[in-house]
């Protein structure tokens, strides 16, 4: 199941005391709910986005990024996670985001 379907189904599964095992749902909107019946087998988007940002900066020595976001829930979640991690470093304002109709992500958590 993708993130949208998984998030919608999680409450129904929980209400009926059924386990939900998802190999691909990674949106923090699911994992932060802390439902005891949901088991995810992949990294959260915020962890993946931060790992990519750190790899670009620390290993590859990149100091600028162009972010192209797909128009899906996953694309938006990953773009926001990467943006937060990238912008929380000293790299701001060298991030250029390419998807004019996308909503602006929340600022990085302090």
Convert the pLDDT of each residue in 89-98 to its tens digit: 665 545 555 5
Examine the pLDDT at 24 and tell me if it is beyond 90. Answer: no
Which region among 10-19, 26-35, 58-67, 99-108 has the lowest average model confidence (pLDDT)?
99-108
Report the chain's terminal Cα–Cα distance, integer Å: 32
Q: What is the DSSP letter of 81?
A: H
Q: What pLDDT is stored for residue 94 in this prediction? A: 57
**pTM score, two decimals?**
0.66
Examine the pLDDT at 32 and tell me if it is beyond 60. Answer: yes
Distance CA 39, CA 25 (A): 10
Q: Which residue has the higher pLDDT, 6 or 86?
A: 6
Q: What angle do CA 89, 68, 92 make, to 5 degrees?
A: 20
Cβ proximity of 2 and 25 under 8 Å:
yes
Q: What pLDDT is stored for residue 69 in this prediction? A: 78
């Amino acid at each position: 199941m993708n993130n949208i379907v998984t998030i919608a189904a999680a409450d129904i599964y929980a209400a009926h005391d059924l386990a939900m095992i998802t190999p691909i749902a990674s949106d923090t909107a699911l994992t932060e709910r802390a439902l005891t019946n949901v088991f995810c087998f992949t990294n959260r988007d915020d962890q993946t986005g931060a790992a990519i940002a750190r790899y670009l900066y620390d290993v590859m020595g990149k100091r600028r990024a162009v972010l192209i976001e797909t128009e899906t829930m996953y694309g938006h979640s990953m773009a926001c996670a990467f943006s937060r991690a990238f912008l929380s470093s000293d790299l701001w304002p060298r991030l250029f985001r390419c998807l004019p109709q996308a909503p602006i992500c929340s600022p990085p958590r302090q």
